[in-house]
């Protein structure tokens, strides 16, 4: 029977003549529903600058400092994984026009802190200042571009009444 640590199933992948064991891992919420995404990875041209930036910004979400794995850094919090990586094809990392990566936050105050921390660490604010969109029954949002130009959103969605 195939298995990895924790008895996770895996499969083999051949890449550039190397056999790799790839773990099949699913992320679940507190009700054991599988979440849509297991992780988000974005490119960077300056790994150390991105590590320092996201260590500060993601601390607001409760994430511990990122773990460096060669050309990547990983942060894990609240059942998800966020990562920055230098491209493995040796080409420069670029941003995607129209792409936004959103982080769930617990309160409007946490959104404000997320935004302020990002700006203090070199992010550029974009769109409207942090605030409600669609009134108090809507979403509390902030937007900024990280040091590599990726558009990041902090989002608080109030509980349904």
Per-block mean pLDDT, blocks of 10 residues, the chain (161 long): 34 40 46 65 94 97 94 89 91 85 93 98 96 84 95 90 68
Instruction: In whole angstroms, give the CA distance from residue 50 to residue 73.
Output: 9
Count of other CB atoms within 10 angstroms of residue 26:
8
pTM: 0.74
């Amino acid at each position: 029977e195939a298995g990895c640590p924790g008895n996770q199933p895996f499969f083999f992948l051949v890449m550039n003549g190397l056999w790799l064991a790839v773990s099949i891992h699913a992320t679940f919420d507190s009700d054991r529903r599988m979440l849509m995404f297991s992780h988000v990875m974005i490119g960077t041209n300056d790994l150390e600058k991105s590590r320092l930036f996201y260590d500060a910004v993601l601390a607001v979400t409760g994430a511990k400092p990122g773990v460096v794995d060669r050309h990547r850094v990983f942060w894990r919090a609240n059942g998800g994984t966020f990562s920055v990586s230098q491209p493995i094809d040796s080409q420069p990392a670029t941003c995607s026009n129209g792409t936004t990566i959103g982080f769930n936050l617990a309160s409007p105050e946490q959104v404000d802190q997320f935004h302020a921390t990002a700006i203090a660490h070199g992010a550029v604010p974009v769109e409207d200042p942090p605030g409600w969109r669609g009134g108090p029954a809507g979403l509390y949002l902030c937007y900024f571009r990280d040091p590599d130009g990726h558009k990041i959103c902090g989002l608080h969605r109030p509980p349904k009444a």
